[in-house]
Amino acid sequence: MQTLNSWTDDQLVSMYAQGNNEAFDVLLDRYKSKLYSYIFYTVHDEDLANDLFQETFVKVIMRIQEGRYQAAGKFQAWITRIAHNLIIDYYRDKANENLISNDEVDYDLLNDANLADSSHESQLVNKQTLNDVKLLCQALPESQSEVVRMRYYYNMSFREIADTLGISINTALGRMRYALINMRRMATEKNISLEIN
């Protein structure tokens, strides 16, 4: 295994694809600390980070064995993107789990006097504003909406966004700038207020 440490990532991937498990061990040792740190920094939960870390390497193994890794000298960016996509999938699934149906409620939610005070009203307005922002974000080109989601929903720095997407920081900043310009324009056209109370 000593001699394998000097090999490039792409060479190690190729060797692993041909059945050399030690090559994968070298790759794992090379990137496990950085990848785990990225996942933990994003999710802020040790158990979840461990699960997502394991799931990431399971996907990496499967994709290499299926021949789906394109050797381009960007193995770290590739595995980080797999981890990033798993994080997004996790939060998307979690959001769907938290949806509540009003079908089984025995009382009329719309006529509940306890919900009529101004704090609930402002909460509803804020929720509507956030929904409007989400819709505007979905109307953006994918390259722009992806940067907005990563920045505001996952609190990623522009350096992390750039590394994950395999782009320069200036490109990430540019996409964010155009996303904000486009969202303001769409909000004006649709008469949507983006202010939160």
Is residue 25 very low, low, confident or very high in pLDDT (cuts 50, 70, 90)? very high
What are the CA-CA distances from residue 115 to residues 102, 105, 120, 191 (Å)?
15, 15, 6, 27
* d(C-alpha 56, C-alpha 86), whole Å: 7
Mean pLDDT of 88-116: 61
Q: Tell me, what's the pLDDT at 119?
A: 56
Predicted pLDDT at 157: 80
Q: Report the C-alpha gap between 144 and 178 in whole angstroms.
A: 7
Q: How far apart are CA 184 and CA 171, in angstroms?
A: 20
Q: Is the pTM of this model over 0.75?
A: no
> What average pLDDT does range 92-109 have in this prediction?
59
> Is 56 a residue whose pLDDT tops 90?
yes
Chain segment 161-180, per-residue pLDDT in tens:
888 888 888 888 888 888 88
∠ CA 164-133-45, rounded to 5°? 45
> Torsion-angle region of residue 9: left (phi > 0), alpha (psi -120 to 50) or beta?
alpha
Pick the range with the lowest mean pLDDT from 54-68, 81-95, 144-158: 144-158
Domains and CATH numbers, the chain: 1-99 (1.10.1740.10), 119-197 (1.10.10.10)
The whole-number pLDDT of residue 185 equals 82
